[in-house]
Structure 1
């Protein structure tokens, strides 16, 4: 349980694609801010609590809101990424309705001067652009006197959010303690670790180099202390978060340091590299230090696109580097960006051909171009005729030569070519009656709850639901859904309960707009009563509130994919009695799964379908 605090720090997770909640939601930014505070603030003046990443990573919207409100913090700090900013802003507004005096501070990559929709969203009091250590320290000193907030350098203060009088100075990284060694974060299987900040490259699709024209390393002693802590804690992987690890001038000596602290290979290392800077000797040195996986970005092979984004790539050197890494036994994830200015469908296909034909990857990652706030490319969108989503992930849906349909078809073509599926989501398991919690609604409602008290699976017997809307009380009260939940709507006579099913789905989404939801229609009898028109209506309800996950999956041609999807579960004894026309019409909107059921309960009858 998160302790009560003056300041509560929260980082919301990446939304899950299926039934598995995000397990690696490490609130590193919050830990860094707290660790940078002087002792008199961290240990005496302010009680700071970091909402545990594993806990926040499992709670659905209503449950998370309730947990935060019950803690009654004086202030809340949210770390904002493109995958969580919309949910964060929704929570801010909900919290303000219940705790009107709480001060809410936002920071993270999504907080950029040009990201106007965020500034106009409401629900928060101040924000930090860029590094936050110095701004957060000063804000903590003056937090209780709002009139003095302007003294905090780099702080954008609402409601007008005008640029601050003084920018925040960069943190002195060599003096900072890690949140791990400070005891603020406990590493588990993976430790996410910064060793330096800054990037000497000038890729226009990225904002990391803005204001950071030099590489600023953390202290060597602190790095060694983190690695020793990781080994003592039984950490299996250290993911080095530097934007490009081998941009260091002393890269070989740095790898020797990692190897020196990891002589028994208890931990493996992962990082992002520029393949052009790797030769066979460096690849072997990386493997000797126990690097087991790296990510390398080719992005494009088209010279015009490389010039447009400010990232020149020598293809021969890239190929040599990628092959050296793979020859050394290091798993290599190779990235391509789709939709860059200057790229065409043919040039993007050439890039895929290049990495496939030369065997330059163990895993090929295709990323649609994101027009990220704060990046030079976002400022040049009109020049390059880039059309993009107005909300995260800000995917470019067209450039001067290609549109999103062509991009989606290229992604599908690549999946077939390589025999892979990007972002797969498993179908839901059968509901287990033995795990249900009956409670007072045993006749029509049962739930399977997890360790956090949220339900992950809930079954509703539509034939027994109380009429007159009385069912809403059960859905508005605990237990609430988890961040990923499956609801089974069951009936013998779906023709009679379609409006009820639609009302339940809409109510659940209204209460939990960012929960990843699977709606399973369980036909006990007469599955033909589940019509394509009814499933299409449910699909429309599921798309009334579009989320990050919906936009992320929009590059796939399968319209059934999204933050909410529909599954029709049919007794397998009906398989021979349902025509292909019915199946095709349903599969336009939903997945069909066939359940093995006791014949006595599911035997098809000779009766005519219900009207």
Structure 2
């Protein structure tokens, strides 16, 4: 068999916790479905590289594996990046084959004509994976089947990837566990129920080994990937089994319908270890729900929520902004419903995504639904919604739920893992710039791919560098080289200055680090923002409280970072209570840490620590 590489790229975001959720479960199943003697030929990238590595670093890893076949798990957030990597890998290794699978692969899409991809698989990949490998191993230039609609897998025959060693259970990430596949519901905006209409259960024989492994490795959470945990029969028996397998109480999480939660179900869920659940409300507007085929029984929903809350189980409630047939008034009623019943704290609001392959996608034109043609496919207009209304809906949700739908983008001031560079200190005159920073500049000029850049990069700069035409040009050339080698990277440009940095040079610099059409920019389309770009972000770093106060008075197009000093608690508490990003470069005394935790309650991600 030829060597095989399997790759799943994470959701792009500077928040490292989101990258940490990138567990390659699909790759694990593909590896597990092969005979044990062949699994050693399957390479899955080191977890830190897949989570944090930039485009050039991941491309180098792929090329080093010399794979005869590379499989990409494609989701809306990584499709374009996967296509770029497949094309670059083909340039380096023309004989290597690229196979794309995952939810983005739908028959009839123009994507299927992409020249960098040799084969596309729609559906569950396990039944066809071995035959694709055999065809690739035969080689001799023969093409792979261009498109395959895979049959449903026999779940009884699938080894669990953790139990067979295809995936490592780790103490720094959740363990993703499937106990069933398929969904009985037919929501028109969801592809899962359409593609996998029947509910199929995995055999339970592997569960004792998986739970024992999770305990031994210190797994922080077991995340049940079932699309609707309450949809299969025998719920109480399943919960009793989970309780017997989870004596140490590893936190469990699942998605379910609250209407299906009875008094005994809630109690048994607590005994099994459930700490949290996701419950899709979407809307309380019955006309909108009827239009998308979504059921909702108000009183049963509330009873189920109350029962789980009485057991101390947290509820995350999903709400969709922009459903056809809903409107701003109906959306406001949904938010009031959540607030009125103690569910606002766990509410998660998302713009409607018109996903390819869904029933909604097929009838969007006839319904008058407009949407982004590229990921994330967010709605732009719909019956009851203008684009202006959708922006108003975001503001309304933030006001009613007292939170931000689009959290602040917090730069990283430390490298996430050995060999992955996430922070470059290029400030003129700083020790780091004169040593490590300048060495990196020289390497970037010769070979930008050799830097081992992360997918999110912070560049520390000084205002003096922007004031100099020579310094600005040098930084712009650096940006162009880094972006060419890492076109999907997110760049955070942090300018240290006692007062607001010069605006025009800063904007000119940001252009060199920005690739128009970046998925991350589209994913923040509904965030009203002075900068207008998110994949190349400008920050003002200052230790001057007066400069911070002027920032909040004048609101320039920079995100503010305040460098912490102990005197801020006594002389500039008003600045801290505005909750800027706070850069902490030294250890805190216990009383300082306590005060900052109180001021930043619920906003701890804005506290950023950097070693001196």
Q: TM-score band (shorter)?
A: 0.7 to 0.9
How many Å separate the matches in 2 of 1:156 and 1:378? 27
Q: Does 1:593 align with 2:561?
A: yes
Contact 2:487 / 2:515 at 8 angstroms: preserved in 1?
no
The equivalent residue for 2:47 is 53
Contact 1:455 / 1:482 at 8 angstroms: preserved in 2?
yes
Deviation for aligned residue 1:188: 1.6
Q: Residues 146-178 of structure 1: CA distance to partner in whole angstroms, max 9, x if unpaired?
A: 58988xxxx851xxx5xx5xx433211012110
Counterpart among 254, 276, 284 of residue 301 in structure 1: 284
Contact 1:297 / 1:334 at 8 angstroms: preserved in 2?
yes
Counterpart among 265, 278, 303 of residue 261 in structure 2: 278
How many Å separate the matches in 1 of 2:453 and 2:141? 41
Counterpart among 539, 548, 561 of residue 567 in structure 1: 539
The equivalent residue for 2:334 is 351
Matches within 5 A, 1:12-411: 12-18=9-15, 22-39=19-36, 41-42=38-39, 47-116=41-110, 118-145=111-138, 156-157=145-146, 161=147, 164=148, 167-189=149-171, 190-262=174-246, 264-411=247-394
SS at match of 2:367: coil
Q: Structure 2 vs 1, CA of residues 588 and 114 (structure 1 numbering), >3 Å: closer, same or farther?
A: farther
How many Å separate the matches in 2 of 1:308 and 1:301? 13
How many Å separate the matches in 1 of 2:153 and 2:16? 40
The equivalent residue for 2:483 is 509
Matches within 5 A, 1:435-454: 451-454=417-420
Deviation for aligned residue 1:207: 0.9
How many Å separate the matches in 1 of 2:561 and 2:343? 38
Deviation for aligned residue 1:57: 0.8
Q: What is the number of residues matched between the two proteins?
A: 552
The equivalent residue for 2:569 is none
How many Å separate the matches in 2 of 1:170 and 1:32? 14
SS at match of 2:455: strand
Matches within 5 A, 1:454-493: 454-461=420-427, 473=445, 476=448, 478-492=450-464
**Deviating more after overlay: 405-414 vs 357-366:** 405-414
Q: Structure 2 vs 1, CA of residues 416 and 471 (structure 1 numbering), >3 Å: closer, same or farther?
A: same
What is the RMSD of the two structures over their aligned residues, measured on CA atoms?
A: 2.9
Deviation for aligned residue 1:574: 7.0
Q: Residues 204-255 of structure 1: CA distance to partner in whole angstroms, max 9, x if unpaired?
A: 1111122423211111112333223222333232111000000012111111
In structure 2, runs of 5+ residues without a counterpart are 566-612
How many Å separate the matches in 2 of 1:488 and 1:81? 32
Deviation for aligned residue 1:461: 4.2
Q: Structure 2 vs 1, CA of residues 284 and 75 (structure 1 numbering), >3 Å: closer, same or farther?
A: same
Contact 2:169 / 2:219 at 8 angstroms: preserved in 1?
yes
Deviation for aligned residue 1:491: 4.4
Contact 1:199 / 1:215 at 8 angstroms: preserved in 2?
yes
Contact 2:398 / 2:404 at 8 angstroms: preserved in 1?
yes
How many Å separate the matches in 2 of 1:573 and 1:193? 49
How many Å separate the matches in 2 of 1:336 and 1:318? 14
**Deviating more after overlay: 386-395 vs 239-248:** 386-395
Deviation for aligned residue 1:26: 1.2
SS at match of 2:365: coil
SS at match of 2:508: helix
Counterpart among 6, 10, 14 of residue 7 in structure 2: 10
**Deviating more after overlay: 18-27 vs 457-466:** 457-466
The equivalent residue for 2:516 is 545
Deviation for aligned residue 1:511: 2.2
In structure 1, runs of 5+ residues without a counterpart are 432-447, 598-611
What TM-score comes out, normalization by structure 1 length? 0.83
Pick the structure with more helix per residue: 2
SS at match of 2:52: coil
Q: Structure 2 vs 1, CA of residues 532 and 82 (structure 1 numbering), >3 Å: closer, same or farther?
A: same
Counterpart among 490, 496, 502 of residue 531 in structure 1: 502
How many Å separate the matches in 2 of 1:238 and 1:573? 44
Q: Residues 63-94 of structure 1: CA distance to partner in whole angstroms, max 9, x if unpaired?
A: 11122212222211111111111111111111
Contact 1:301 / 1:350 at 8 angstroms: preserved in 2?
yes
How many Å separate the matches in 1 of 2:416 and 2:291? 49
Deviation for aligned residue 1:476: 1.8
Deviation for aligned residue 1:554: 1.5
SS at match of 2:160: coil
Q: Structure 2 vs 1, CA of residues 156 and 361 (structure 1 numbering), >3 Å: closer, same or farther?
A: farther
SS at match of 2:176: strand
Contact 2:542 / 2:562 at 8 angstroms: preserved in 1?
yes
Q: Does 1:556 align with 2:527?
A: yes
Q: Structure 2 vs 1, CA of residues 532 and 172 (structure 1 numbering), >3 Å: closer, same or farther?
A: same
Deviation for aligned residue 1:589: 2.6
Q: Residues 375-404 of structure 1: CA distance to partner in whole angstroms, max 9, x if unpaired?
A: 111111112211111111111121122134
Q: Residues 453-496 of structure 1: CA distance to partner in whole angstroms, max 9, x if unpaired?
A: 12211122469999xx9885156253232122101222436332
Q: Structure 2 vs 1, CA of residues 334 and 594 (structure 1 numbering), >3 Å: closer, same or farther?
A: closer
Deviation for aligned residue 1:547: 2.2
Q: Structure 2 vs 1, CA of residues 380 and 543 (structure 1 numbering), >3 Å: closer, same or farther?
A: farther
Q: Structure 2 vs 1, CA of residues 248 and 99 (structure 1 numbering), >3 Å: closer, same or farther?
A: same
**Deviating more after overlay: 266-275 vs 418-427:** 418-427
SS at match of 1:383: helix
Q: Residues 248-300 of structure 1: CA distance to partner in whole angstroms, max 9, x if unpaired?
A: 121111111111212x2331210000011112221111111111100000111
Deviation for aligned residue 1:110: 1.0
SS at match of 1:555: coil
Q: Which has the higher contact order (CA 8 A, sep 6+)?
A: 1
**Deviating more after overlay: 360-369 vs 487-496:** 487-496
Contact 1:59 / 1:483 at 8 angstroms: preserved in 2?
yes
Q: Structure 2 vs 1, CA of residues 490 and 535 (structure 1 numbering), >3 Å: closer, same or farther?
A: closer
How many Å separate the matches in 2 of 1:65 and 1:353? 48
Q: Structure 2 vs 1, CA of residues 101 and 331 (structure 1 numbering), >3 Å: closer, same or farther?
A: same
